[in-house]
Amino acid sequence: MNQDELKQAVARAALDHILPHLESDMILGIGTGSTANCFIDALAEVKYRFDGAVASSEASAERLKSHGIPVYDLNTVSELRFYIDGADEANEHLHLIKGGGAALTREKIVAAVAKEFICIADESKLVDVLGAFPLPVEVIPMARSHVGRELVKLGGDPVYREGVVTDNGNIILDVWNMNILNPVEMEQAINQITGVVTNGLFAMRPANALLLGTVGGVKTLTTE
Q: Which segments are annotated as binding site?
A: 32-35, 85-88, 98-101, 125
Does 112 interact with ligand 5RP (rule: CB under 6 A)? no
Instruction: Report angle CA 27, 112, 103 to the nearest 5 degrees.
Output: 85
Closer residue to ligand 5RP in complex, CB, 20/169: 169
- Among the residue ranges 58-66, 71-79, 83-91, 162-170, the one whose residues contact ligand 5RP (CB under 6 A): 83-91
C-alpha–C-alpha distance, residues 194 and 178, integer Å: 20
187 binds ligand 5RP (CB under 6 A): no
> Is 45 marked active-site?
no
Q: Using the rule CB under 6 A, is 87 a contact of ligand 5RP?
A: yes
Which of 178, 207, 212, 190 lies closest to 6, judged by CA? 212
CA–CA separation, 34 and 146 (whole Å): 32
- Give one DSSP letter per residue of 61-93, joined into a string: HHHHHHTT--B--GGG-S-EEEEEE--SEE-TT
Given the residues 107, 138, 150, 187, select the one marked as catalytic. Answer: 107
Q: Could you say whether residue 175 binds ligand 5RP (CB under 6 A)?
A: no
Question: For binding to ligand 5RP (CB under 6 A), which residues are involved?
Answer: 31-35, 85-88, 98-104, 107
Which residues are part of the catalytic machinery? 107
